[in-house]
Amino acid sequence: MKLKELVEQLTVVSVQGELDVDITGITINSREVKQGNLFVCIAGIPGLQEDRHLYIDHAIEAGAVALIVERDIVAQVPTIKVPNARFALAMLSTHFFGYPSHDLKLIGVTGTNGKTTTSHMIEAILAHANYQTGLMGNIGTKIGNKIVKSNINTQEPHKLQANLAKMKNCSTDYCVMEVTSQGLDMGRVIGCDFRTAVFTNLTDDHLDYHGTMDKYLMAKGTLFSRMGNSYSYEHSKHKFAILNADDPASELFHGLTTAEVITYGINNPADVMAEDIQLTVSGTTFRLVTFVGTITIECSMVGAFNVYNALASIATALAEQIPLQLIQQALSEFKNTSGRMEIMEGSQDFIVIVDYAHTPDAVNNALSMLCELTNQRVITVFSCEDDHNEGTTFSRIRDIAAKHSDVVILSAEHLSNEAMNSMIQEIANGQGIYTSSNNITFELMPNGHQAATRAIELATTGDIVFIAGVDHKTEVQQILKEYQTRNRDEVGDIVRTEDIPIRA
């Protein structure tokens, strides 16, 4: 594509140099530049992204043949100055890859917790209905039958649009995309024509980026406010907003969107509701009451929060006119998303669950639910942070773990030596929350592997080991394999589990 064609998509520009240049791709990373690329110099975000203007020379040396900039630059290649390089990046990427979201149905899922599980549930239902599906999110990007891992949740526009184009070329019917508040605020999904926007929940998170809950709320709200103002008589062109009736933020999102709203919930009246919920450590059953009928749902997902995830996916599927019986079948066969309240299978006589929970709300939801499902001990593992003063994310998670656990094992791999020594002293001396009067045992291990190993060695019949944070699945599987091939008597020589009492 000629640079001239790309520049014509922008209105307010200042051009230096010739535009009769062939563009082979678009990037914002000088290390990824290939010959013929357009290098977009987005402004920096302190602590998050560097100013790309600093890497112009590197980009040109690597083969960049044109630049998008936000300030006056003297360069040996054509330079296009724009007011907002991020907006230009999204707009030009969308045009370069042929507006792919216009040719498939794009479903965006946003919220503090539950995005990944809800996205995968929606995708599973659509696939069960024989649609070709794609996925973008925390675990990676699914195009056709391949999944490519990603180090970012909501991708930058040039990669996002490229992946949507690949899905289009694979005759994908639906793409289900996790949409983060940061991605929305940075304009990463500008150019995406969402058919459906799904909201899971809102709790305090990412305040290091947004600053306040109001700004965080409004960032989420942009997904719903940008769905357009037009309406079509064709159902295939209808737009939907799927909102959690039990979350106060839904009222704002309802007012922001012109899409047709479908609500779901447990406590407040909604279009899609769960009643007679039965929770066990092996799965969940509930009576589904909807505007098209009532049916019993059984799934292997654990916890009330996963009932909400299921309801969100069901409401989304109903918007696509998928029959209840087919939804029921899909959810009965759905397996936990990797690392999301996932029970680690093995021959041990206790339960080991790994979960991505890394916010206070997510950890609280998981642990409070697990406490209701067992009369035995709950042993919790999660990673420390340097800043463990009152009110920090770590201190709040620690306090929640102490409230709902009998044993809390902390992993110190992210601690500085100073912070680690301080915590060792606090635990040894029983200071503050670490006091023995709380009837909670705290331990600090050097790293996540040793922390998980310690938890599994401590566990006895009926206990639940809950390992929270980043995806520990592969690591925990290996620990369990080693554990099961060892003589349990050897472990007893090292750890005297009877010294740690069962919660009253």
421 Cα distance to chain centroid: 33
pLDDT score recorded for residue 138: 82
**Lowest mean pLDDT: which of 16-20, 223-227, 294-298, 414-418?**
414-418
Report, as an integer, the average pLDDT of 454-475: 81
Query: What architecture is the 99-333 domain classified under in CATH?
Result: 3-Layer(aba) Sandwich (3.40)
CB 488 within 8 A of CB 497: no
- Nearest-angstrom CA–CA distance, 313 and 119: 7
Class of domain 342-491: alpha beta
166 annotated as a binding-site residue? no
The verdict on whether residue 113 carries a ligand-binding annotation is yes
Alpha-carbon separation of residue 395 from 43, 132, 212, 440, 457 (angstroms): 34, 44, 19, 15, 26
Determine the Cα angle at 257 with ends 254 and 259, to 5°.
105
Is residue 185 over pLDDT 50?
yes
Domain 3-96 carries which CATH code?
3.40.1390.10
One-letter amino acid for residue 103 of the chain: D
474 labelled ligand-binding: no
Domain with CATH 3.40.1390.10 in the chain: 3-96
**Angle, to 10 degrees, between the axis of helix 249-256 and the axis of helix 213-225?**
40
**pLDDT single digits (tens) 114-138:** 899 999 999 999 999 999 999 999 8
Q: What is the mean pLDDT of residues 60-71?
A: 97
d(CA 395, CA 388): 5
Instruction: Look at residue 14 and give its three-state secondary structure.
Output: strand
Residues 6 or more apart whose Cβ sits within 8 Å of residue 145? none
End-to-end CA distance of the chain: 70
Structure token pair of residue 488: 């349990």
Find tokens 């709790």 and name the residue: 203
Whether the pTM exceeds 0.75: the reply is yes
Encode pLDDT of 201-258 as tens digits: 998 766 667 778 899 999 999 999 999 888 888 888 899 999 999 999 999 999 999 9
455 CB-near residues (< 8 Å, 6+ apart) = 379, 380, 381, 407, 409, 465, 467
Query: Percentage of the chain surpassing pLDDT 70?
Result: 90
pLDDT band, very low/low/confident/very high, at 7 (cuts 50, 70, 90): very high
CB–CB of 456/479 below 8 Å? yes
pLDDT of residue 67: 98
Q: Who has greater pLDDT, 475 or 166? A: 166
114 annotated binding-site participant: yes
Strands (E) across 173-224 are located at 174-178, 194-199
Q: How far is the C-alpha of 70 from the C-alpha of 55, rounded, in Å?
A: 14
Identify the sign of the CA torsion 49, 53, 54, 60: positive
Helix H, strand E, coil C: the string for 263-304 is EEECCCCCCEEEEEEEEECCEEEEEEEECCEEEEEEECCCCH
Q: Average the pLDDT over 450-474 and give the result.
A: 82
Rg of the chain taking only CA atoms, in angstroms? 25
Report pLDDT for 159: 96
Contact 404, 367 (CB under 8 A): yes
pLDDT digits (tens, 9 = 90+) for 249-283: 999 999 999 999 999 999 999 999 999 999 887 78
Residue with tokens 């554990």, as numbered in its chain: 483
- Check the annotation: does 200 bind a ligand: no
Range(s) within the chain of domains with CATH label 3.90.190.20:
342-491
For tokens 């915590």, the residue is: 423
Give mean pLDDT, residues 448-452. Answer: 85
> Mean pLDDT, the chain, as a whole number?
87
| Residue 500 confidence class, pLDDT cut points 50, 70, 90 | very low
Calpha distance 477→344 (Å, rounded) = 7
Helices 304-319, 360-373: axis angle to 10 degrees equals 110
Cα–Cα distance between 83 and 425 in angstroms, integer?
Answer: 53
Is the separation of the CB atoms in 254 and 261 below 8 Å? Answer: yes
pLDDT digits (tens, 9 = 90+) for 138-182: 888 999 989 888 878 899 999 999 999 999 999 999 999 999 999
Q: Is 416 annotated as a binding residue?
A: no
Helices (H), 68-138: 85-96, 115-128
Question: CA distances (Å), 400 to each of 61, 164, 393, in order?
Answer: 52, 40, 11
- Greater pLDDT, 425 or 100: 100
Question: Where in the chain do CATH 3.40.1190.10 domains reside?
Answer: 99-333
Among the listed ranges 125-129, 354-358, 406-410, which one has the minimum average pLDDT value? 354-358
Instruction: Please tell me the predicted confidence (pLDDT) of residue 436.
Output: 57
The distance from CA 277 to its chain's CA centroid, rounded to whole angstroms, is: 25
Q: Which helix (H) or strand (E) holds 39?
A: strand 37-40
The answer to whether residue 501 scores a pLDDT higher than 50 is no
Task: Look at residue 36 and tell me whether its pLDDT is greater than 50.
Answer: yes
